[in-house]
Structure 1
Amino acid sequence: MGVAHTEAEQAERFRLLAREQLPRLYGIARKLVGREAEDAVQDCLLKAFQKLGQLNDESAAPAWLASILVNCCRDRGRNKGRRPEELNFEDVEEFSLYRKIAYEDPFPYSDSLHLDFLEEFTAEDVRSVLMRLAELYRVPLVLVYMEGFLVREVAEILEAPVGTVLARLHRGRKLFEKQMWSYAADHGLLREAAR
């Protein structure tokens, strides 16, 4: 696209970039802050426009915008005074959704028990389960498993060591599994009659 020099060229450059990335940004924000997604994306776009001169490589724009968005989402959480709930990591580490489904056998006449369990979840159910997770674990899970970022890219976005991101991903997956089971129990997805 080349380097823009005038304000009009900068505005047009940003308009094209924002239009191209908007659906992706909104999708990420929905997974990170739920109902506040529109506000978080607006915050992100405002900050991105103000810092557009820092973007020298157009191919880096998706990661650059994602980084700004993640920070905007984190700011929203901080402003509300949210604190991650205290967790007993031993309980989390020992939990296995695969074993729990096999042991509890919520669909006793199923030949594909685990798939039947997962098929009970709609996209909105999955989003609700994600929103139950502390931001500390939700952000890396969304960026790596749902948005396709590499772990090292997420480490750069979060300004955290790769090892820390890997640990958060591991714990986040375990927490997500545990929350899926709890959500299914709370919403009647485990009943044999659900089939």
Structure 2
Amino acid sequence: MPVTETSRQREDFRALVRDQLPRLYALARVLVGSEAEDAVQDCMVKALEHYEQLHDPGAGAAWLKTILVNCCHDRLRARARQPEPVDFDDREAEGFSLYRKIAYEDPFPYSDSVHLDFLYGFSRDDVRAVLLALPDIYRIPLVLVHMEGYLAKETATLLQVPLGTVLSRLQRGRKAFEKGMWDYAQTHGLLKEGVR
């Protein structure tokens, strides 16, 4: 039985999905949390519908990631047409510096590398918990730029917002993440020597 173009495309699509599914799901979990499976499913449906538009099989991973980011963005928009207002007038949060806080508080007094000791106290799950606690408008640009390697300009295009908005959200998101790391460490007892 001869192999048709359609059956070859289906097999190529299956192979691409098998290879990329774990990465897509991990990214979706960070972007939309509990809606990750639905977002990945939306991504697969859209990708299958438009697979013939993918002319370079080597670009398949980036193509799927872009579709997933758009699906996640659509879900977040549907979740709340207006993002929750976040009050960053609080001078403590706005001017917070994790580096200075660790140096001032000196949670590991006998350490020569206090900043590294602080970071080593966090597991992947701890960092994920801090990241997921951030508001969507800050978490998504942080993940896309710092974890997925998108440029700020590409992130602005994906999120359909001006570049200045993305840069502002990145700055505020980094400050909120730093403060979240410190607060999480205090709450979960990570500021004790020998915790991990």
Smaller-chain TM-score range?
A: 0.7 to 0.9
The aligned counterpart of 2:31 is: 32
Scaled by the length of structure 2, the TM-score of the pair is 0.84
Letter of the 1:30 counterpart: R
Letter of the 1:88 counterpart: F
Query: 1:188 aligned to 2:160?
Result: no
Q: CA deviation at 1:160?
A: 2.9
Scaled by the length of structure 1, the TM-score of the pair is 0.84
The aligned counterpart of 2:87 is: 87
* Corresponding residue SS for 1:190: coil
Query: 1:23 aligned to 2:32?
Result: no
Q: CA deviation at 1:89?
A: 4.6
Cα 1:98–1:14 change in 2 (3 A) is same
Q: CA deviation at 1:128?
A: 0.6
Q: How does 1:44-59 map to 2 (within 5 A)?
A: 44-59=43-58
Cα 1:179–1:148 change in 2 (3 A) is same
Letter of the 1:41 counterpart: V
Q: Is the 2:73–2:159 Cα contact (8 Å) retained in structure 1? A: no
Q: CA deviation at 1:68?
A: 1.8
Query: 1:151 aligned to 2:152?
Result: yes
Distance 1:62 1:155 in 2: 20
Query: 1:108 aligned to 2:124?
Result: no
Runs of at least 5 residues in structure 2 that lack an aligned partner in the other structure:
none
The aligned counterpart of 1:63 is: 62
Letter of the 2:53 counterpart: Q
* Corresponding residue SS for 1:194: coil
Letter of the 2:130 counterpart: V
The aligned counterpart of 1:176 is: 177
Q: Is the 1:85–1:134 Cα contact (8 Å) retained in structure 2? A: no
Letter of the 1:62 counterpart: A
Distance 1:161 1:55 in 2: 28
Moved over 6 A (4+): none
Distance 2:190 2:85 in 1: 25
* Count of equivalent residues: 191
Q: Is the 1:141–1:172 Cα contact (8 Å) retained in structure 2? A: yes
Distance 2:71 2:39 in 1: 6
Letter of the 1:8 counterpart: S
Q: CA deviation at 1:21?
A: 1.8
